[in-house]
Amino acid sequence: MHARPKRTCKAFPEGIPDVIFDNLFIHTKHYEGDQGILYEPREERCNR
């Protein structure tokens, strides 16, 4: 049996809930324990 690596972020420093990591809940709305931090897409950057 392999252990899953701990997936963390600023909103979930103790571990991202499976429901969010598996895209079953889109984190653009508050989710319990998210520290008030919501998902925001990163700006696309062009390397030219």
Question: Taking the model in full, what pTM does it have?
Answer: 0.69
Task: Show the tokens assigned to 25.
Answer: 């809940």
Residue 6 pLDDT more than 90?
no
Instruction: Count structural domains, the chain.
Output: 1
With b for 16 or more beta-carbon neighbours within 10 A and e for fewer, the 11-46 pattern comes to bbeeebbeebeeeeeebeeebeebeeeeeeeeeeee
Per-residue pLDDT, 21? 93
Structural domain including 31 reads: 1-48
Better-scored residue on pLDDT, 1 or 9: 9
Asked if 33 and 13 touch (Cβ cutoff 8 Å), the reply is no
pLDDT tens, position by position, 7-41:
999 999 999 999 999 999 989 999 999 999 998 88
Per-residue pLDDT, 47? 67
Residue 5 pLDDT more than 80?
no
